[in-house]
Structure 1
Amino acid sequence: MANKIYRSETDKMVGGVCGGLGEYFQIDSTIIRLLWVALVLVGGSGILLYLIAWIIIPARGIN
């Protein structure tokens, strides 16, 4: 069965997107968060991408 991306319910600061991506890629969620911050500082696109990911990626309990 294929591994699916879900928003994390345990490792979250705002919406659980970074925690979920960290679980999916099996890396520390802090690295993902630093990449989001870098995207925000470079041009502000990180905020828009985070909001889109928050809407698209389902929470763990929802199938």
Structure 2
Amino acid sequence: MTAARPFVRSRHDRMIGGVMGGIARRFGWNSTLLRVLFVIVSIASAAFPGIIVYLLLWLLMPEEGA
């Protein structure tokens, strides 16, 4: 059994805070596609909840290597 990778913000794969890069790395997903999907879902939900979710994750997720 392999140890699960923790949720951390990426230092290398980041556009703003590294949140989407960290989530993509955790699950082995493509970070660009995850970002596009997040933007589409945020726009579809009037953008406000998506911004709040991103800011909360940015505050709560530790930075990689910290």
TM-score, normalising length: structure 2: 0.84
Task: Report what 1:28 is aligned to.
Answer: 30
- Aligned mate of 2:54, from 42, 46, 50: 50
Q: Distance in 1 between matches of 2:31 and 2:21?
A: 5
Task: Report what 2:42 is aligned to.
Answer: 40
Counting matched residue pairs gives: 62
TM-score, normalising length: structure 1: 0.87
Moved over 2 A (4+): none
Give 5+ residue unaligned stretches, structure 1: none
SS at structure 2 position matched to 1:60: coil
Q: Distance in 2 between matches of 1:50 and 1:27?
A: 18
Percent of residue pairs bearing the same amino acid type: 37
Give 5+ residue unaligned stretches, structure 2: none
Task: Report what 1:12 is aligned to.
Answer: 14
